Amino acid sequence: MKPVMQTRTGKGGDCFQACVASVLELQLEDVPDFCNVYSEDEWFLKFCSWLNQYGMTAIMVKNDGKAVLDKILTGTYTLAGGMSAARPKMLHEVVWKDHKMVHDPAPEQMGLVNKPDDLICFIALSPAVANRVSNEPTLSTDTIVELNDLVKNLLDENAQLREQGIQMQRKVYRITYVDAAEETGDDDELSMELRLNIFKRSHAVLRGRIRELQGRHSHLIKRVEKDLKSSDALVMHATTLEAAHRAYRLKVSKLLEALDTMWNPVDEQEDGFPNLCAFKQCRTEVEEG
């Protein structure tokens, strides 16, 4: 049982809702407000139907003051209803166990005027399931306290690690914080400056990459232009050589024609043509050349 306090008092109060939440160890908002939502004839039936999801139902017993009822309910949490000690003539609900009140959800903590008029008892729908649950090992109070302390220490350590991570991010990105942001602890400006610094650095990296690609592109263009110029020069040189060769052949042809014109085939004697030997030698050299 975990005590839950009621949030409304007087007429329309939620004491019954708070007692149910206490016994079932639920949040107040997890329990419907049966007494105020439903009529007097149907609220208890709605309550019993709602309990089915937890494997139980309930029964209301009139407290006749006999000891046998107290013996039967010994060690059992029940809901006790009666007249409120803090607000006369108003019904009130408290948590009851071992012949006494163990929790009053009202802020005055005054309980009931007399003994309860009725008791609401929780009954398991399946006794076998309830038996298995009751036989399961439970943690001692000391163990629970140790576990709670361990969880708290882990949460504190996690918070410290998170803070160290934030400090490392600040060092990596070299963020200069505004004094006002440090004094007020407002992280909006810090987060904005962090995003701005990341954007600036990313933008600088992209610009450097673009410049690198532009440089490589320019280098390739220059190489292509150089290769094209070399190719044009080779073509021009080959064209020049070909033209010179054609001019040389033309010149040789004309020279041979001139020599043939100078030679008289009728007179083949050397004494008939004083330059016959020189002519033959020149023609031979031209043909071989």
pLDDT digits (tens, 9 = 90+) for 50-70: 999 998 999 998 887 766 677
Structural domain boundaries of the chain?
15-135, 141-166
pLDDT number for residue 49: 93
Q: What is the mean pLDDT of residues 128-134?
A: 63
- Cα 6 to Cα 18: distance, rounded to the nearest angstrom: 5
9-18, 143-152, 169-178, 196-205: segment of lowest average pLDDT: 169-178
Closest CA to 262 of 248, 275, 281: 275
- CATH code, residues 15-135: 3.90.70
Dihedral sign of CA atoms 39, 42, 47, 49 in order: negative
- Cα 213 to Cα 219: distance, rounded to the nearest angstrom: 10
